[in-house]
Amino acid sequence: MSYYLVDFENVKKDGLDGIHMLGSDDQVCIFYSKNADSITFDQHRRIMESQASIMLCKVDVGSKNALDFQLATQLGFLIANKAATSYYIVSRDKGFEILSSYWKNREVSVTLIADITGRSQDYETQELREKLEDILKESLIDDDSVTVDEVLKIVQQYKTKQGIMNALMKKYPSADNKKSSKIYKAIKPLLSDKKGS
């Protein structure tokens, strides 16, 4: 039996990929807040098709990392009550890696994954790197000063589209910000999970 704790504020609907394949012994707790509280009809259908026990947990927000603290508290409660044999935190927030190592030292299996199918953070990073390579080759950039790793680092570091644009302008200054605008326009389709317009 596995227990999945989903940081919906972080992974949005993509984190629920694979939920319809879970078995009746599995349990899922979806942590969400007023900052992230909607899903598509298709995702709703997949949740309804799942044999797993699904719990929705609306959390209080107002302080930094409020959802993370509540998820971590719930994980400790579940482990103390031996709710499952394996626990999965579904999030792209690398801060949760500390929980995984903490519980590993106590012989409890807690794994950080990017979605319910079990894709790891490394897989997600490699997938994003490949997409960025393709986009940058196709759309612009024969400029040796623009590297995929630098753009990848910026995309992963910032949570908002505006933050990414600002970082690109700082990293690639040019007259009228043409270079950073061109990069941003090229990568914008990959930023659908980022806040802002």
> What are the tens digits of pLDDT across the range 83-118?
999 999 999 888 899 999 999 999 999 999 988 988
Q: Of all helices (H) and strands (E), which one includes residue 163? A: helix 161-171
Reported as a pLDDT band with limits 50, 70 and 90, residue 120 is: low
Reported as a pLDDT band with limits 50, 70 and 90, residue 143 is: low
Alpha carbon distance 80, 37 (integer Å)? 29
pLDDT at 107: 94
The pTM of the full predicted model, rounded to 2 decimals, is 0.67
- Closest C-alpha among 59, 63, 83 to residue 71: 59
- Closest C-alpha among 30, 37, 42 to residue 4: 30
Q: Please compute the mean of the pLDDT values over residues 125-142 and round it to a whole number.
A: 78
Asked if residue 34 has pLDDT above 80, the reply is yes
Q: Where are the alpha helices (DSSP H) in 21-80?
A: 41-49, 66-80
Task: Kindly calculate the radius of gyration of the chain based on its CA atoms and give it in whole angstroms.
Answer: 19
